[in-house]
Amino acid sequence: MRVYFFPKWLIQAVVIFLCGLLAAGAVWLFLGGQEASVMAEPVYQGTNTEQKVALAVNVDWGEDILPSMLDTLAKERVTATFFVTGRFAEKFPELVEQIAAAGHEIGNHGYKHPHPDELSVEQNQKDITQAERILEKLTGTKPVLYAPPYGEHGKTCLTAAEQCGYTTILWTLDTIDWEKPAPSHETLVARASGDKLTSGAIILMHPKEHTAEALADIIHAIQAKGYQCTKVSDVL
């Protein structure tokens, strides 16, 4: 049997080469993970080329206001997307069922309206899926759109939403109906139908009394510019 002896420099070169391969593989895996996180970006505006804009209503309160908003939407023959928290759905299941039965879209707004950027990926996942189970049970459909509370969209939030199978939705236009003191009727209409109104725009509002009172005029102002008001999924 022949025994081969390799020079020390050759052995060292092979070891260095193998270590280089391992290091390159580690970098590739790291960058791959980074790329995946970059891909999980929120949607601020739809890409639909049709003359459509979406009405997005974030719901964690306002059970006394929502019926009025639903009546207006029905009269105007307009559908919208309601992003509902799990805790609201638990308290007012009939109202959530009524929203869905009217042809509106139900999105996920988390369970207890936390600050997502203060939570880990796992904590965000728990909050999202807890709401998901309740909403799916009430409507028979799993939500696929997620509106993070407070509009927070840090890495842990976006990663959790993506891993749970959601598209994260923010907004193009904010009516600022949540501000105190409440914005005027004219301000609400102007912000919803102003210069930023373009095809695919997502218009954020909440179930506030002044919003309900201005809703019909908001819809009319948008329609006067040639746009159809619809659900978020219709403009994606």
60, 71, 117, 217: the active-site residue:
60
Whether 109 is catalytic: no
CB neighbour list of residue 219: distance below 8 Å, 6 or more residues apart: 72, 76, 78, 229
Whether 117 is catalytic: no
Q: What phi and psi values does residue 222 have, to the nearest 5 degrees?
A: -70, -45
109, 127, 206, 234: the active-site residue:
206
Question: Which stretches does DSSP call E strand in the chain?
Answer: 52-59, 81-84, 105-108, 145-146, 167-168, 173-174, 202-205, 228-230
Burial per residue of 23-56, b for 16 or more beta-carbon CB atoms within 10 angstroms, e otherwise: eeeeeeeeeeeeeeeeebebbebbebeeebbbbb
Catalytic residues: 60, 206
